[in-house]
Amino acid sequence: MNNSLADSTSPYLLQHAENPVHWEPWSPAALERARREHKPIFLSVGYSACHWCHVMAHESFENDAIAAILNDHFVNIKVDREERPDLDAVYMSAVQLLTGRGGWPMSVFLTPDLEPFFAGTYWPPQQRGGMPGFPQVLHAVIDAWTNRRDQVTKQAGEITAALSQSLVAASAEGGLPTDVLLEQAAHSLGRMFDRQYGGFGAAPKFPHPMDLRLLLRTAQRSGRLDDLEIAVHSLACMAAGGIHDQLGGGFARYSVDERWLVPHFEKMLYDNALLAVAYLEAFLATGREEFAAVVRSTLDYLLRDMTDPAGGIWAAEDADSEGEEGKFYVWSPEEIATVLGDSHQAALFCEAYDVTPGGNFEGHSILNLPRPLAEVARKHGLAPEVFAERMRAAREQLLAARSQRVRPGTDDKVLVAWNGLAIDALARAGAALDEPRYTQAAARAATFILTECRDPQGRLAHQWRQGKASGLAFAEDLACLTEGLVSLYEATFDEQWITEACQLADLLLGTDKSALVAGGFVDPETGALFRTSPAHEKLLIQQHDMLDNATPSATGMAATVLVRLAVLTDRERYRQAAEKAITAVAPLAKRSATAAGQSLLALDMLLGPIEEFVVVADGDATTAHAAVRSQCTPFRPRAVVAARRHVDAVPVADAPRLLDHLFVDRPGEAGTLVLYECVAGACAAPRRVEGVLPRPA
C-alpha cells in the first residue's frame, strides 16, 4: 500500500504525504486493517509548527530503510493533534504514564485493540545522547510483539486500566470553594516567581497568561501589591524579550532560556489571543501605555498575517524557514545597516535591540530590549520621545525588509476553540481601547465560524480549512467560542451574539434537547466537562477536560462564561452548572494553581462582587463604553455591561428577550444617556452621564 495522506485537510499530515512511510490517517479502515492483519499500530502525533516533529520526519520518516521497517511490521497512523485533541489527550496520558514526561512528536505503539504498550516522543535515527536509535526501538517492539505477545497485551491492558483509574475526578468535599483558594493560588504562584526575569520556574519558560490574569485579580481583591508586581514584571520582561517579535508583533510559543531571550520560534494563535487579553488587563489595571502597545501590535499581527480572506484566523506559524529554526527573525549588524542606510541610526538600533557581531543566537541576533529605550536615549542625550519615534521608524523599515524573506510555513486551518479565544481578545480590546477595527474583526470571525464551520448536519464543526469544515466540535470549541461571543456582545451590544452564546451554552450542558446529539459534555456525577460528547467517536477512554495546558481547560472556560451568562440572562441553570464545575476542579487547584488558572478566574468572578453596568441611551456601543469609562475604574474584572437604545429598553411582555431582566424599570428618553450600576445586588441611583455625546442610531 502507499502513503494515503494526500487527501488530508491537515497541513501537518500533508507535510508527510510524500514520506516513504505508508502513513494512513486515523480512520475505521486503518484500525480495521490492524485488527485483520494482527499488526501493532505505530501512532505518530504532532502538529505543523512543531520543530522536533520536522526533525524526526527528516531524519526517520524520510529514511527509506526506517520506512521499510515501519511498513513491514506496523500499521502506521499519523494524527494532527490540533485536528484531534481528543486522541492526542488520551495517548499523551499514556506517554506521561510510561515515561514521566510528554511532548511532540508523540510516538505510541498500540495493540490492534488500541491499547498502548510502549511510548516515547522523539527518537534519533541512531543512538546518541543517551537515547536509543529509532530503528533500535522498532526492532525491540517487533521482537516483543512477535515473541512475547501475551505479555505485551497483558501490559497494555494494565496501562489502559491505570489510565482509566487516573481519569476519576477527585471528589470535592466542602462544597464551593471560597476566596481562600484564590489566596492559596496567589501564594503558590509567588513561590514559583522568578523575581529577576519574571515568569514562573526555570527554563524553559512559558507565558502562563491565565495565571497572570489571576494575580491581577487577587491584587485588586486583597490590595496585595506583590501579586500586581509579579504580573506586571513578568509581562514587562516578556514584552522586552526575544519571545516577543519586536518588529512584527506577537509572541512565540515559549522561551528556551530563563530570561525570555531565545524563543521556540513558532507562533500559535492561542498564545497570542490569551496574551493579548493579559496585556490588556495589565494596561487597565496600571495605565501603562506600553502594555496597550503590546496589545495593539499582537492583534495587528493576527489581522495582518494570520487572517483568512474568509474571516477566520489561522492556527500557527512554523518555527523554521528555509530549513533553519528562527532564520526569518534573526539579524546581523550588517543587515541592519543595509536596511536603515544611516550608519548612526543603525548603530543606535543595534545598541537598543542587542544586535552584535557575535550575536546572541547561533551567530545571529534575536531582537530584544536589554534596557528600556528611554535609558538608551538618555545615554546619547536624546529626548525619550524623539528616540522612541526614531526606533519606531526603524522598526517599520526593518519589518518591510523582513517581509521579503522566505516566511515560515503557515498552518492555515481555522480551529473553532482558538478562534473563540481570538474573538474574545479582539472584542475586549476593541471596546477597551476604542479600536473599532478589532471589534469588526471579532464580528467577522464570529460570523464566519457560526456560518461556515458546520458539519453536513448543521452542527458546529471543530475546524475549517480551504472551504471545508470537518470534525465535530469538542467541549473546548463550544466553551471558548461562547466566551468570545459574550465579549463580542459586550463590545457591540448586538443581542444576536448573546442568543448564539446561549445556544452554544445549552449544547455544552446538554439542555438543548433538540440538538442533544451534538452536545452534552457535562459529567453528571462531578459537574466537570468531558472532552467529548456521546456524538463523538468512542475512544479507549473518555477524559475530563479539567486541567489547563497551553490553553484553558474546557471545564474552566465553561465555568467562566456560564457565570457571565448567568448574570446577563438571569438563568439559574448556568450559575448552578458553573458552581458544580468549579467545585469539581477545586481539589486539583489546591494541589497546583498553574493547572487550574482558568477555573480560578471563574471562581473569582463567581465570588464577586459582580458589577452590573446597564446603559440606556441614544447612540451606539462607543457611546455606552465611553459612559462607563467616564464613571468607573478601568479594570473591572468582575463586571458585565449591557446597553440598549431608549426605544428598545422597555421589555415587551409578549416578545421577551434574553436580557430583559436587566432593563426592567430602567427607562431612558431621547437625547439622554443614563447609567445604572449595581454591585453585588445593591443598586446605586441612576446617573445621567454628562460629556458623552450620543451618536445617532
Q: List, in order of start, the domains of the chain with CATH numbers.
A: 11-166 (3.40.30.10), 179-321+411-607 (1.50.10.10), 329-404 (no CATH), 611-688 (no CATH)
Residue 671 near residue 694 (C-beta atoms within 8 A): yes
* Range 171-179 contact pairs with CB under 8 angstroms and sequence separation of 24 or more: 171/526, 171/587, 172/526, 172/583, 172/584, 172/586, 172/587, 175/583, 176/579, 176/582, 176/583, 176/586, 176/606, 177/582, 177/583, 177/586, 177/589, 177/603, 178/607, 179/221, 179/607
Asked whether residue 653 carries a pLDDT value surpassing 80, the answer given is no
3-class DSSP assignment, residue 675: strand
* Rounded Cα gap, residues 488 and 517, in angstroms: 27
For 449-494, the pLDDT digits (tens) are: 999 999 989 999 999 999 999 999 999 999 999 999 999 999 999 9
Nearest Cα to 282, choosing from 208, 230, 232?
Answer: 232
What are the φ/ψ torsions at residue 201 (nearest 5 degrees)?
Answer: 75, -170
Band (135; pLDDT cuts 50, 70, 90): very high
For 223-256, the pLDDT digits (tens) are: 999 999 999 999 999 999 999 999 999 999 999 9
Cell of 47: 502538529
What percent of the chain lies above the pLDDT cut of 70? 96
Interacting residues of 637 by C-beta distance below 8 A, sequence separation 6+: 213, 216, 217, 220, 281, 604, 605
Residue 692 near residue 630 (C-beta atoms within 8 A): yes
Q: Return the pLDDT at 3.
A: 83
Residue 438 near residue 427 (C-beta atoms within 8 A): yes
Question: In the 8-state DSSP scheme, what is residue 529?
Answer: B
What percent of the chain lies above the pLDDT cut of 90? 82
H helix or E strand, kind and range, residue 190:
helix 179-192
Asked whether residue 87 carries a pLDDT value surpassing 90, the answer given is yes
* Rounded Cα gap, residues 282 and 286, in angstroms: 6
Rounded to whole angstroms, what are the CA distances from 102 to 45, 93, 319, 526?
A: 12, 8, 20, 27
Q: Return the pLDDT at 652.
A: 73
Task: Identify the bridge partners of residue 472 per DSSP, sorted by sequence position.
Answer: 461
Q: Return the pLDDT at 489.
A: 97
3-class DSSP assignment, residue 547: coil
Q: Return the pLDDT at 515.
A: 46
Which sign does the torsion angle of CA 69, 71, 72, 74 carry? Answer: positive
* SS3 per-residue string spanning 605-652: HHHCCCEEEEEEECCCHHHHHHHHHHHCCCCCCCEEEEEEEHHHHCCC
**Residue range 75-96: average pLDDT?**
94
Q: Return the pLDDT at 695.
A: 60
Which sign does the torsion angle of CA 482, 89, 468, 454 carry? Answer: negative
Helix axes 554-569, 475-492, angle to 10 degrees: 40
Q: Return the pLDDT at 101.
A: 85
Asked whether residue 651 carries a pLDDT value surpassing 80, the answer given is no
**Residue range 365-391: average pLDDT?**
96
CA angle 312, 46, 302 (to 5 degrees): 25
Residue 213 near residue 278 (C-beta atoms within 8 A): yes
What is the CB-side half-sphere exposure of residue 297 using CA atoms within 13 A? 20
What are the φ/ψ torsions at residue 456 (nearest 5 degrees)?
Answer: -60, -25
Cell of 527: 459537574
Q: Return the pLDDT at 517.
A: 41
Task: Identify the bridge partners of residue 120 per DSSP, sorted by sequence position.
Answer: 107
In one-letter notation, the amino acid at residue 372 is P
Residue 416 near residue 446 (C-beta atoms within 8 A): no
Average pLDDT over the chain, rounded to whole?
93
Q: Return the pLDDT at 518.
A: 47
Nearest Cα to 582, choosing from 608, 611, 562, 564?
Answer: 562
H helix or E strand, kind and range, residue 683:
strand 682-683
Interacting residues of 642 by C-beta distance below 8 A, sequence separation 6+: 490, 493, 568, 612, 613, 614, 615, 659, 662, 663
Nearest Cα to 453, choosing from 5, 9, 6, 4?
Answer: 9
Q: Return the pLDDT at 620.
A: 82
- The neighbour count for residue 271, using CB atoms within 10 Å, is 25
* SS3 per-residue string spanning 95-118: HHHHHCCCCCCEEEEECCCCCEEE
Q: How far is CA 259 from the centre of its chain?
A: 22
Q: How far is CA 504 from the centre of its chain?
A: 19
Nearest Cα to 367, choosing from 332, 396, 325, 339?
Answer: 332
- 427-436, 438-447, 509-518, 584-593, range with the lowest pLDDT: 509-518
Q: Return the pLDDT at 174.
A: 64
**Residue range 649-673: average pLDDT?**
81
Name residue, grid cell 446561549: 502
For residues 366 and 128, the model is more confident at 366
Asked whether residue 516 carries a pLDDT value surpassing 50, the answer given is no
Cell of 256: 528556551
Cell of 482: 461562547
**Residue range 195-224: average pLDDT?**
96
In one-letter notation, the amino acid at residue 163 is L
Band (691; pLDDT cuts 50, 70, 90): confident
CA angle 639, 644, 645 (to 5 degrees): 145
What are the φ/ψ torsions at residue 106 (nearest 5 degrees)?
Answer: -105, 130
Radius of gyration of the chain measured on its C-alpha atoms: 26
For 294-351, the pLDDT digits (tens) are: 999 999 999 999 999 999 999 999 998 998 999 999 999 999 999 999 899 999 999 9
Give the burial class of 398: count Cβ atoms within 10 A of its Cβ; 0-12 exposed, 13-18 middle, 19 or more buried.
Answer: buried
Residue 181 near residue 603 (C-beta atoms within 8 A): yes
What are the φ/ψ torsions at residue 250 (nearest 5 degrees)?
Answer: 90, 165
Residue 276 near residue 291 (C-beta atoms within 8 A): no
